[in-house]
Amino acid sequence: MESWLSPLYVFPFGFVLSVFLCAGWLLSTKQIFNDPKKKTEEDKELLKKLLEGFGLEIPTELQETQSPVIKTIKSP
Protein backbone atom coordinates (compact mmCIF):
# COMPACT_ATOMS: atom_id res chain seq x y z
CA MET A 1 0.00 0.00 0.00
CA GLU A 2 2.85 2.37 0.71
CA SER A 3 4.20 1.92 -2.80
CA TRP A 4 1.10 3.60 -4.27
CA LEU A 5 1.60 6.66 -2.07
CA SER A 6 5.20 7.27 -3.15
CA PRO A 7 5.91 10.55 -4.99
CA LEU A 8 6.78 8.53 -8.07
CA TYR A 9 3.07 7.65 -8.51
CA VAL A 10 1.39 10.68 -6.92
CA PHE A 11 3.14 13.33 -9.03
CA PRO A 12 2.09 12.02 -12.48
CA PHE A 13 -1.47 11.48 -11.26
CA GLY A 14 -1.65 15.02 -9.89
CA PHE A 15 -0.14 16.44 -13.05
CA VAL A 16 -2.61 14.65 -15.33
CA LEU A 17 -5.51 15.65 -13.08
CA SER A 18 -4.45 19.32 -13.14
CA VAL A 19 -4.08 19.24 -16.96
CA PHE A 20 -7.61 17.88 -17.34
CA LEU A 21 -9.00 20.47 -14.93
CA CYS A 22 -7.27 23.32 -16.77
CA ALA A 23 -8.48 22.05 -20.15
CA GLY A 24 -12.05 21.81 -18.85
CA TRP A 25 -11.86 25.31 -17.44
CA LEU A 26 -10.54 26.73 -20.72
CA LEU A 27 -13.26 25.03 -22.76
CA SER A 28 -16.00 26.25 -20.43
CA THR A 29 -14.75 29.87 -20.49
CA LYS A 30 -14.57 29.76 -24.27
CA GLN A 31 -18.24 28.84 -24.40
CA ILE A 32 -19.15 31.59 -21.92
CA PHE A 33 -17.26 34.40 -23.66
CA ASN A 34 -18.22 33.43 -27.22
CA ASP A 35 -20.72 36.01 -28.48
CA PRO A 36 -23.67 34.07 -29.97
CA LYS A 37 -24.97 37.09 -31.94
CA LYS A 38 -21.63 37.58 -33.64
CA LYS A 39 -21.45 33.90 -34.46
CA THR A 40 -24.95 34.00 -35.98
CA GLU A 41 -24.05 36.91 -38.23
CA GLU A 42 -20.84 35.18 -39.31
CA ASP A 43 -22.80 32.02 -40.11
CA LYS A 44 -25.31 33.98 -42.20
CA GLU A 45 -22.51 35.66 -44.16
CA LEU A 46 -20.82 32.32 -44.80
CA LEU A 47 -24.08 30.75 -45.96
CA LYS A 48 -24.75 33.70 -48.28
CA LYS A 49 -21.26 33.41 -49.81
CA LEU A 50 -21.68 29.67 -50.32
CA LEU A 51 -25.07 30.08 -51.97
CA GLU A 52 -23.67 32.78 -54.26
CA GLY A 53 -20.68 30.59 -55.07
CA PHE A 54 -22.89 27.71 -56.19
CA GLY A 55 -25.22 30.06 -58.08
CA LEU A 56 -28.25 29.23 -55.94
CA GLU A 57 -31.08 31.52 -54.95
CA ILE A 58 -30.44 33.55 -51.80
CA PRO A 59 -33.40 33.79 -49.39
CA THR A 60 -34.69 37.22 -48.45
CA GLU A 61 -33.55 36.73 -44.85
CA LEU A 62 -29.95 36.61 -46.06
CA GLN A 63 -30.33 39.47 -48.53
CA GLU A 64 -31.25 41.94 -45.81
CA THR A 65 -28.26 43.82 -44.50
CA GLN A 66 -28.74 44.79 -40.92
CA SER A 67 -26.45 47.44 -39.55
CA PRO A 68 -25.71 47.12 -35.87
CA VAL A 69 -27.60 49.49 -33.63
CA ILE A 70 -25.36 51.73 -31.60
CA LYS A 71 -26.98 53.47 -28.68
CA THR A 72 -25.38 56.70 -27.66
CA ILE A 73 -25.25 57.93 -24.12
CA LYS A 74 -26.58 61.45 -23.75
CA SER A 75 -24.50 63.61 -21.47
CA PRO A 76 -26.40 65.73 -18.92
CA atoms of 32 and 26, how far apart (whole Å): 10
Report d(CA 50, CA 58) in Å as an integer: 10
Q: Which residues contact 57 (CB under 8 A, 6 or more apart)?
A: 51
Confidence at residue 62, expressed as pLDDT on a 0 to 100 scale? 77
Please report, for residues 21, 23, 34, 45, 61, the alpha-carbon distance to residue 11 in angstroms, rounded to integers and kept in the order given.
Answer: 15, 18, 35, 49, 56
Based on the structure, what is the number of domains in the chain? 1
Please give the Cα distance from 36 to 38 (Å, whole number): 5
Residue 61 maps to a domain? no
In a domain, 28, yes or no: yes
Structure pTM?
Answer: 0.41
Segment 55-62 shows an average pLDDT of 84
For residue 75, is it within any domain?
A: no
Asked whether residue 6 is assigned to any structural domain, the reply reads: yes
User: What percent of the chain has a predicted confidence (pLDDT) above 70?
Assistant: 71
> Is residue 62 included in any domain, yes or no?
no
Query: Looking at the domain assignment, is residue 68 inside a domain?
Result: no
- pLDDT (tens digit, 9 = 90+) per residue, 17-31? 999 999 988 888 776
Parent domain of 7: 2-55
46 occurs within a structural domain: yes
